[in-house]
Amino acid sequence: MSKINKLIPATLILKVLLLIACNGKENRIENDETYELIPEDIVEMRDDQIKQANIVTGKIEMRNLSAKIMVSGVVAVAPHNLATVCTPMGGFIEHIALMPGQAVKKGQTLAIVENQEFVEMQQNYLEARSRFEYAEAEYKRHGELYQNDVYSEQNLQQVTAEYKSLKAQVRALEQKLVLIGIDPARLNEDGISSSVSIESPITGYVRTVNVNLGKYVTSADVMFEIINSDRLLLELSLFEKDVDKVAQGQRIRFFINNETEQHEAVISQTGKSISNDKTYKVYANITENCKNVLPGMYVNALIDASGNMVTSLPSGAVVSFDDRDYIFVFEKNKEEAGRSFAEYRMVEVHKGITDEGYTEIVLPENLDIESAKVVIQGAYNLLSAKKNAGEMAC
């Protein structure tokens, strides 16, 4: 006999044994009328197996689930919280002591600018104010004389014209002084200066400094940028298909720099048009003071779309098998040969949205939601038992 004939594959022996076992089982089924045939959608487990599989049942719940929209965007600043500081008139930087990132308060001096034209403006104002004070006194005196028929109307008109002309000149020079940062009410002959202070219009921190000592700046040059970071916002871009899913007041959770720390914001404004790249702008106010959130940062955000009350279960209660979704519903308890068993029915469902650990499910019409006991923990163990039982069946 050849060596090959002596080597019988182990799989062939296993198949023979299974065939014998199945034939014996068929004979027992034919001879034993009490043999129980378990339906295809039923999984049967003993009490000790249930405990070992950590199976827990619960009720089907009605929950308000919201769909999640994943979007991206940047941290931005509202226009009223961003200030670009320029000088109203050109001049040389006489003093500066700021660095980017430094905190400043509203009204704090950012720099001192020097220009000889400032001296001329103050001189012109003081001279015009002196002439106006004299003209005002003359105007009142001539008015009284005219009332007493001492002065003619022509003389009064001439004095009045001079008075009004000087008044307009003084008011114009006052506004020029205010524009460059000089208070006309406090200006006198001993307080004339060739330099003025540039003050911060808002409280925040310095983002950019574009000047240095001795540099000449014009009214068109940006000297500083000040940002108020206490009230930052998000500028998010949504696709056109998601326009109807967002509205004012919706909550947003966002993350920066791939961090796990979660920050929150609330939608304050939605765009009114679609841009050329078919995106839709949404703006949201950051609701808390996040120290590590800075303007210009890229963010990933989750928007909770409007939700409805739907039938739902913990997400772990829904299992997938052969591209279909199922849940296990407790059927009944029973005893066989002195041992306790429980039966669970495998019920096909359709999944909906998932939110915070719960999944929407569409149930068959014949399932009683009120009385059904659904396996909410250990469902995959039941599925495994079902699959193994099917593979071992004859």
- State residue 13's pLDDT score: 36
Q: What distances in angstroms separate CA 356 from CA 192, 230, 242, 261, 362, one per listed residue?
A: 68, 30, 21, 17, 18
> Please, are residues 110 and 243 in contact by the beta-carbon 8 Å criterion?
no
The set of residues, in sequence order, having a beta carbon less than 8 Å from that of 22 and lying 6+ positions away, is 394
The set of residues, in sequence order, having a beta carbon less than 8 Å from that of 189 and lying 6+ positions away, is 126
Q: What distances in angstroms separate CA 278 from CA 10, 22, 273, one per listed residue?
A: 64, 64, 10
Radius of gyration of the chain from Cα atoms?
43
Task: Give the span between the Cα atoms of 116 and 120, in whole angstroms.
Answer: 7
Task: Give the span between the Cα atoms of 23 and 31, in whole angstroms.
Answer: 12
- State residue 279's pLDDT score: 85
Write out the two tokens for 390.
Answer: 């099917």
- State residue 30's pLDDT score: 45
Residue in 372, 387, 356 with CA at minimum distance from that of residue 68: 356
Task: Give the span between the Cα atoms of 41 and 238, in whole angstroms.
Answer: 44
Amino acid at 347: V
- State residue 12's pLDDT score: 38
- State residue 48's pLDDT score: 87
Per-residue pLDDT of the chain (394 residues; tens, 9 = 90+): 443 344 344 333 333 333 333 444 344 444 444 555 778 888 888 888 888 889 999 999 888 777 778 888 999 888 888 999 999 899 999 999 889 989 999 999 999 999 999 999 999 999 999 999 988 888 888 777 777 666 667 777 888 888 899 999 999 999 999 998 888 988 988 889 999 999 999 998 999 999 999 999 998 999 999 998 778 889 998 888 777 778 888 888 888 877 778 888 888 888 888 888 888 888 998 887 777 788 888 998 888 766 678 888 999 899 998 889 999 999 988 888 888 889 999 999 998 888 778 898 898 988 888 889 999 999 998 888 887 764 433 3
Residue with tokens 């202070």: 197
CA end-to-end span of the chain: 35
Predicted TM-score of the model (pTM) = 0.56
Number of helical (H) and strand (E) elements in the chain, helices listed first: 6, 23
Residue in 274, 271, 368, 362 with CA at minimum distance from that of residue 325: 362
Amino acid at 204: G
Beta strands 224-227 and 204-209, pairing class: antiparallel
> Please, are residues 94 and 114 in contact by the beta-carbon 8 Å criterion?
yes
Coil, helix or strand for 95?
strand
- State residue 3's pLDDT score: 39
